[in-house]
Amino acid sequence: MSAVVFLEHDGGELHKAPLGVLARAADLFGSADAVVVGSQATALAAEAGRFGAAVVHVADDPALDPALPAPRVDVLETVVRQGGYDTVLFSNSVLAADVAAGLAARLEAGLNWDLVDLEQRDGELVGKRPALGDSVLVDVGWRGTPRLALFRPGSFDAVETGGVAEVRPVAAALAPHSTRAILVDHRHQPDEGPKLEDAEVIVSGGMGLGAPEHFALAEELASVLGGVVGATRAAVYAGWYPASAQIGQTGKTVSPRLYVALGISGAVQHKVGMQGSKAVVAVNKDPNAPIFEFSDLAVVGDVHVIVPRLVELLRARKGS
Amino acid sequence: MKIAVCVKHVPDSRVRIDAGSKRLDRSGAGELNKFDTNAVEEALRVKERLGEGDVVVVSMGPEGAADTVRAALALGADRGVLVSDPGAIGSDLLATSRVLAKVLEREQPDLILFGQQASDGAGAVLWAAVAERLGVPSVSQATELVVEGGRARVTRQTERGDDVVEAPLPLAVAVSDAINDPRYASLKGVMAAKRKPLETLSLADLGVDAAQAGEAGSKTVVLGIAPPPARSGARRVEEGDAAQAIVDFLAERQLV
Ligand SMILES: Cc1cc2nc3c(=O)[nH]c(=O)nc-3n(C[C@H](O)[C@H](O)[C@H](O)COP(=O)(O)OP(=O)(O)OC[C@H]3O[C@@H](n4cnc5c(N)ncnc54)[C@H](O)[C@@H]3O)c2cc1C
Ligand SMILES: Nc1ncnc2c1ncn2[C@@H]1O[C@H](COP(=O)(O)O)[C@@H](O)[C@H]1O
């Protein structure tokens, strides 16, 4: 089997989640290739090599810089047809989902999404997809090739192999409808404060904090633990915390050593952004909160009672 | 201005997987996918802002999906098209997008709206496949939509902030649930919906070959279902000094 992985990047850096998919593919198939699109593609190819790509197809063209899906479908179609790939893998994102589905229709290829793992069974590829609020794990397969798959971000760790990739430029003709949509503006908020993606410790707050001013509890706890504050989408939409702190499907994907969830129910859209955390501590007053199903320490109780005392205990411990 | 809104009939909250067919059991009662009410609402607002327009609701689903189409009509859409055919059961992304694209080719809408995801399958990808088949651009996660002079300006939410995308019509847009607060159907709306045109089509009516829809026309398969692996060694604290228990846990894991 021959696999190619779509690598996303911004700010001159490759995203970690698709590099994780690359590592898994290289492990599973013995070798895996990658595609990088945009004017920094050639510069990033070496980094893709260091993370295990054997061949990196680069569509190095400033016209492809705007993060729009359709031109990427054209590039991938060319790569898949010329390279004869039978497997095309993506790490889910707003952009990658649209690219993958567009490519599926273009190539008449099966697409399985929301996978958390991939394995070979009797020469067949089998994907693992959590379903029904993650209460079951479904095995999915493909009929024919190419096979397309979207993975949950954070399903696999990126692995630095120190390899050197062969770089192949791609010249893709763009379909007429691929250039009709244009990006006229983007208002990307600069991340305020330390980067959540790189944080070792994250303390996140949800609606259970009860009021915007109670995010101070999360901030105090984060400060004593040397961490950064995150938030649920509900808290962000309520205006309690900046959008740059949002963790989840439509926010950041994080994998700290410690994730503390305060007053967070644990909706699957939140979970997908933090399930890569090494240890999860959740405080929630509802004993049946879904967050407890993926917590290492499930604390049933009121954040307003527990967190101030926790901060006190941790300060005392530090002081001594 | 013709606006098509793709809506899905989804099983109500007690969704389960049928052990035999390994598919979602769609036999129970169903309802209009909640995220699609945002798409219907946005279609109505575009029409209201322009002062003219025809809003057609498009769905593929079981016979019961007629109620879902009527629910969208009750909100104010003008007419409905439902593709209901035993041959469409088990359609995956490829087959579903193929059938919906056929309906949309017939309708020739200027704007095609989708919800942000189906609450049952949650692929959140269908629009991109439909748009590709139609050869029109698509924009997802829209939090603002302005249609003017044959063009659309869409603000979309991405992981890194907002993008503003412009495109000429026809265009497919998948709206975020943050785009609007959908109205509720009034009693008058519900009554009026009963008299609005609802066309029910078979695959043959659309000229879709049996091999192109349902399981035959799909390229993904469900092989089996298993319980997920449990997170090992989870610990629970329900009483006593919870704060101290957290400190102990952190110390044990060398996190403090
Ligand atoms: C397409 C889509 C994308 C989404 N993307 C994201 C995303 O990126 N990130 C995200 O987070 N969400 C996302 N969501 C929303 C998600 O489904 C949930 O609605 C959201 O995560 C809930 O946030 P919450 O846990 O803060 O609030 P709630 O679900 O309201 O939970 C609050 C919790 O606090 C507990 N609580 C209340 N008071 C206390 C107290 N005093 N002490 C302790 N506990 C208390 C309650 O028991 C409850 O469990 C998305 C949804 C959709 C449909
Ligand atoms: N069977 C269907 N008929 C019509 N529209 C659909 C159907 N399935 C999905 N959709 C539309 O596509 C969107 C995304 O669905 P999905 O990709 O399945 O999560 C939904 O919000 C609907 O707008």
Q: pLDDT category, A116, cuts 50, 70, 90?
A: very high
B235 vs A300: CB contact, 8 Å cut-off?
no
A105 vs B129: CB contact, 8 Å cut-off?
yes
- Residue B85 belongs to some domain of the structure: yes
Domain A196-319 has CATH 3.40.630.30: no
Q: Given CB atoms, is A292 within the 8 Å cutoff of chain B?
A: yes
Sign of CA dihedral B233, B237, B238, B240: positive
Chain A residues touching residue B136 (CB < 8 angstroms)? 177, 180
Beta bridge partners of A137: A130, B226
Chain B residues touching residue A252 (CB < 8 angstroms)? 159
Point out the ligand 2 atom lying closest to the alpha carbon of residue B125: 17
Q: Would you kindly state where each structural domain of chain A is located, as residue ranges?
A: 3-179, 196-319
B17 lines ligand 2 (CB under 6 A): no
Q: What is the pLDDT along chain B (256 residues), one digit of tens a residue?
A: 999 999 999 987 655 666 666 676 656 678 999 999 999 999 999 999 999 999 999 999 999 999 999 999 999 999 999 999 999 999 999 999 999 999 999 999 999 999 999 987 668 899 999 999 999 999 999 999 999 999 999 999 888 789 999 999 999 999 999 899 999 999 999 999 999 999 999 999 999 999 999 999 999 999 998 877 666 668 999 999 999 999 999 999 999 8
Residue at B150: amino acid letter: G
What is the C-alpha end-to-end distance of chain B, expressed in Å? 62
B223 vs A126: CB contact, 8 Å cut-off?
yes
- Number of the ligand closest to the Cα of B131: 2
* pLDDT tens profile A82-105: 999 999 999 999 999 999 999 999
Domain that holds residue B131: 2-224
- Number of the ligand closest to the Cα of B35: 2
* pLDDT tens profile B132-168: 999 999 999 999 999 999 999 999 988 878 999 999 9
Point out the ligand 1 atom lying closest to the alpha carbon of residue A265: 49
Cα separation, B64 vs B203, in Å, equals 17
Number of domains in chain B: 1
- Residue B81 belongs to some domain of the structure: yes
CATH number at residue B124: 3.40.50.620
Which of B3, B31, B55, B114 is the best mutation target for the ligand 2 pocket, counting ligand atoms within 8 Å of the beta carbon and taking the most? B114
Residue nearest to atom 4 of ligand 2 (CA): B59
Residue nearest to atom 21 of ligand 2 (CA): B115
Residue nearest to atom 4 of ligand 1 (CA): A269
- Residue B172 belongs to some domain of the structure: yes
- Residue B238 belongs to some domain of the structure: no
Cα separation, A126 vs B31, in Å, equals 32
Q: Given CB atoms, is A110 within the 8 Å cutoff of chain B?
A: yes
Domain A3-179 has CATH 1.10.10.10: no
- Residue B127 belongs to some domain of the structure: yes
DSSP codes joined into one string, A101-120? HHHHHHHT-EEEEEESEEEE
Interface of A with B in 257-286 (CB under 8 A): 257-258, 279, 281, 283
Distance A252 CA to ligand 1 centre (A): 15
Domains A3-179 and A196-319 share a fold: yes
- Closest CA–CA distance from residue A126 to any residue of chain B (Å): 8
Residue A21 token pair: 């998919």
- Residue B250 belongs to some domain of the structure: no
Answer yes or no: are the C-beta atoms of B47 and B55 closer than 8 Å.
yes
Q: Given CB atoms, is A306 within the 8 Å cutoff of chain B?
A: yes
The ipTM estimated for the assembled molecules is 0.88
